[in-house]
Amino acid sequence: MINTFAQVDQYASAGHTPWHRASAISKLLFAFATILLAVFTTSAPALAGYLVVALALALSARLPLRLVLLAATTPLFFAALWLVSRWTGRPDEIAMTALRPVIASLIALWLVGTTPYPDLFAPLSRVMPRVVGDSLFLTYRAVFALLQRLERLWRALFLRGALGGTLRARGQRMGEAVGTVVLYGFERSQRLYQVMHLRGHSGRICGCRHWRETRAEDMWVIVAFAAVLASRIVLGR
């Protein structure tokens, strides 16, 4: 899981496709509008058209095929649970229930895989309460550090034979390990706050404004949304 998060973060910052150069605000609006259309569209052929566009976006952004397949197949498990709980036997309902989360997952992967996290959270912090926006910004970076520490701690316990013994003993040691990581996270947050305070934190973490600057590559985002609308109009009849 750590490698997956790190891969997405790396491709978002180091990519060189037109999608990476497009403005964050245009990609956010496109993702929000496309997912909203997928939720309210009641035509399976139109949803299939959305899926083709989402796949084209993810692949043209040069994201690894493994990540694309993971984003496309993971929601199917939860969709299957929903279908089992409300089975009607209608093929169109089965198709729509399966396609909607896959489309949303692929669009989300394309968004976070082509937008560096400061540009992604900067516009969100404008529409959210300041505390919430800054907390999301810090939490995104803290996840990597905490997961890496948890992985190192887990490997150390395994190499020293601490994961052997009875189930109760293993559970107790795992609880102590999780408690250690929680204390580390609390201590790290305290140090981070002190550093921000010493450097003159003004109440807003990401004050950058280039996320809303329009660029020539935004035209490709408009073309992608036009393809989504065309699928809705032509295939949704």
- Is the pTM here over 0.85, yes or no? no
Confirm if 222 and 34 have CB atoms less than 8 A apart. Answer: no
SS3 54: helix
164 CB neighbour count, 10 Å cutoff: 11
pLDDT tens per residue, the chain (237 residues)? 556 666 777 778 788 899 988 888 899 999 999 999 998 988 889 999 999 999 999 999 988 888 888 888 888 887 777 777 666 667 777 788 888 899 999 999 999 889 887 777 777 767 777 666 666 666 666 666 676 777 777 777 777 776 666 777 777 777 777 777 767 766 766 676 666 666 555 555 555 556 667 788 889 999 999 999 999 988 876
- CA separation for the pair 237, 235 (Å, rounded): 6
- CA separation for the pair 47, 42 (Å, rounded): 8
